[in-house]
Amino acid sequence: MAALDLSAPQDDAHCRSLLIIPGELVYAQCRLALRKTYLNNYTARKIAIQQQYGMLDERLDQALRADAFCNYDEAVKASIQVQDERSLAEIAYASCGTTRERLQEEIASVTGVDGFAFTAAERPTVIDQNVDAIRESRAVIQGPPTNVAAN
C-alpha cells in the first residue's frame, strides 16, 4: 500500500480522460491497471516458481498469467461488496478454479510435481495478493480527495 499514491492526480486524470467516473468499479480497475497491480502479482508468483523449478516454459507461463489475472480481476470485482477482505479474497480465489486447474496441469507437466499440492502451497500467497487488490480497489474507487483532484 505504501507504493500506492491514493491521490495520484495523473492516474485520476488519465482515467477521467477515458470518461470513467470515480465511484464506478471500472474506475478502480483503471487506476489499478496504471499501478500494474496484476502484473506485480504475476511477477512475484513467477519469480517464486522460477527460484524453485527454473525458467517457465511458454504454456506454464501462460497458465500462471491467466490465473494471476483471474484472481486479480475477481478480487477487484469483489471489492465493492460489503464483506470483509479475507472472505472476499477467498471467494475470488474460488472463482478461479478453471485457471488454477490449468496451472496445476502445466506445473505437473513441466516439473513433475503434484499440481494440486503446488497450488495448495501457493494458496496463501494468492489469497494475500487478493486481499491487497481488494484494499487497493477500495482505496482508489472514489478517486483522490477533492482538494487533490483540483490541483
Q: What is the pLDDT of residues 47-60, one digit of tens each?
A: 999 999 999 999 99
Question: Which whole number is the average pLDDT over 11-36?
Answer: 82
pTM: 0.82
**Mean local confidence (pLDDT), 19-48:** 86
Grid cell, residue 43, equals 511477477
Give the list of residues 6+ apart from residue 41 with CB closer than 8 angstroms, or none: 68, 71, 72, 129, 132, 133
Closest CA to 32 of 64, 62, 1: 1
pLDDT reported for residue 149:
46
- Average pLDDT estimate for 134-142: 86
Q: What pLDDT is attached to residue 3? A: 45
Count other C-beta atoms under 10 Å from residue 52's C-beta.
11
Averaged pLDDT, 94-100: 97
| Three cell numbers written together for 3 | 507504493
**How many CB atoms are located within 10 Å of the residue 24 CB?**
13
Lowest mean pLDDT among 1-10, 58-67, 72-81: 1-10
Q: pLDDT class for 5, splitting at 50, 70, 90?
A: low
Tell me which of 95 and 37 has the higher pLDDT: 95
Task: Supply 66's cell numbers.
Answer: 491467466
Gap between the Cα atoms of 45 and 29, Å rounded:
21
The pLDDT value recorded for residue 151 is: 45
